[in-house]
């Protein structure tokens, strides 16, 4: 600010940081790469080819490699990388996409807005923003994504890991309603979770010792014990006829071949829990713990206030120490 309390006329675009930009770009390019792959696979089923589509796929893959390389170069400078780089299953492709989508949550607020956290003390800046197809010169205060996510519950809500108060379940898409969470971030985190499970490290096995997360296996056991009396059964491969209680695998039929009743999606009968549902519930709990560890490391590195989640403060669960939930051998860390 100047002596007259007027902001200096330094104008910038209302853009996100580099990591946020390249994470968003990489995900967009990924979609552009999948489309020609699907087309070529469909053409191959009828013995046809498309040289133009094949050439386009090569170009998209080159662009995707470039974006992934930029992400890998940027993530090592991030305040959470000294922690994340020590975890089996965490690499420089999926992890920076999740972090970048959190950074993308940053935005400018009007001066004096109650949405600006008290610990954000930045000087107001002029910035340019596109509104209704016009470039508008505005003035505001920038708040980073991690600064906006001031509590663990806000982080979980943005990730889509909270519980919908209306349904008591994880929030889902609803026709005609705006999403209450970042669908891309939740998808990126589930992909990250799959990588943690494949690595079969500390986040897979977990521990009951102080400072540790129960991990994927620990949460599977807890969920099964909590649902005592419920039988865990394999997930049906197709749609289900509730009238005949059969699984119909045929892809293109919507009606039961036996009774003609309309088939339903996979729904658990009373007293049963599908294996796929159990798997997703356990992975979600594991990812919630992982997210909190990332959040704690990130905010602590930036000197921001930190709090423990509700289950620790109110339900007397054990707090998790992020630095105990690391397991990558030293030589593997050096090769990253």
Domain ranges of the chain: 148-226+277-336, 231-270
d(CA 303, CA 318): 23
- Other beta carbons less than 10 A from residue 251's beta carbon: 7
pLDDT of 7 reads: 44
Torsion of CA 28, 29, 34, 36, to 10 degrees: 120
Q: Is 12 helix (H, G, I), strand (E, B) or coil?
A: strand
Q: Which residues contact 322 (CB under 8 A, 6 or more apart)?
A: 83, 293, 294, 296, 297
Tokens linked to 53: 């589509």
Query: First vs last Cα of the chain: how many Å apart?
Result: 42
Tokens linked to 258: 């036996």
From 7-16, 34-43, 105-114, 282-291, the region with the lowest mean pLDDT = 7-16
* Maximum average pLDDT range among 129-133, 227-231, 289-293: 289-293
pLDDT of 217 reads: 97
> What does the pLDDT look like over 216-234, one tens digit per residue?
999 999 999 998 888 888 8
Task: Output the pTM of the full model.
Answer: 0.86
From 4-18, 19-33, 277-291, the region with the lowest mean pLDDT = 4-18
d(CA 127, CA 141): 10
- Whether 3 shows a pLDDT value over 60: the answer reads no
Token pair 């940081």 is at which residue? 17
- Whether 299 shows a pLDDT value over 90: the answer reads yes
Phi then psi for residue 334, to 5 deg, are -70, -25
Sequence-ordered alpha helix ranges (H) in the chain:
18-45, 51-75, 81-84, 94-103, 145-148, 152-159, 183-199, 202-205, 215-226, 275-301, 310-313, 330-334
d(CA 109, CA 115): 7
pLDDT of 39 reads: 97
């Amino acid at each position: 600010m100047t002596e007259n309390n007027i902001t200096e006329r330094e104008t910038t675009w209302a853009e996100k940081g580099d990591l946020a930009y390249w994470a968003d770009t990489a995900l967009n390019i990924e979609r552009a790469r999948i489309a020609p792959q699907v087309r070529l696979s469909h053409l191959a089923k009828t013995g046809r080819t498309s040289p133009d589509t094949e050439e386009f796929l090569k170009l998209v893959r080159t662009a995707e490699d470039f974006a992934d390389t930029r992400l890998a170069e940027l993530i090592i400078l991030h305040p959470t990388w000294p922690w994340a780089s020590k975890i089996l299953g965490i690499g420089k492709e999926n992890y920076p996409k999740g972090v970048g989508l959190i950074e993308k949550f940053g935005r400018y607020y009007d001066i004096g807005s109650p949405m600006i956290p008290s610990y954000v003390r930045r000087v107001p800046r002029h910035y340019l923003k596109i509104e209704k197809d016009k470039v508008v010169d505005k003035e505001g205060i920038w708040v980073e994504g991690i600064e906006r996510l001031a509590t663990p519950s806000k982080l979980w809500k943005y990730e889509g890991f909270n519980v919908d108060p209306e349904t008591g379940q994880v929030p889902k898409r609803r026709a005609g309603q705006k999403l209450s969470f970042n669908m891309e971030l939740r998808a990126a985190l589930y992909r990250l979770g799959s990588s943690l499970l494949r690595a079969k490290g500390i986040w897979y096995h977990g521990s009951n010792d102080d400072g540790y997360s129960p991990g994927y296996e620990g949460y599977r056991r807890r969920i099964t014990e909590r649902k005592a009396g419920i039988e865990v059964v394999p997930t049906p491969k197709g749609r289900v006829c509730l009238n005949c209680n059969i699984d119909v695998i045929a892809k293109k039929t919507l009606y039961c071949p036996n009774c003609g009743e309309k088939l339903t999606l996979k729904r658990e009968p009373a007293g049963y829990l599908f294996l796929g549902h159990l798997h997703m519930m356990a992975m979600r709990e594991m990812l919630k713990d992982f997210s909190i560890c990332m959040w704690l490391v990130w905010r602590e590195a930036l000197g921001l206030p930190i709090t423990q989640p509700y289950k620790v403060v109110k339900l007397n669960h054990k707090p998790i120490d992020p630095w105990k939930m690391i397991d990558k051998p030293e030589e593997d860390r050096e090769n990253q």
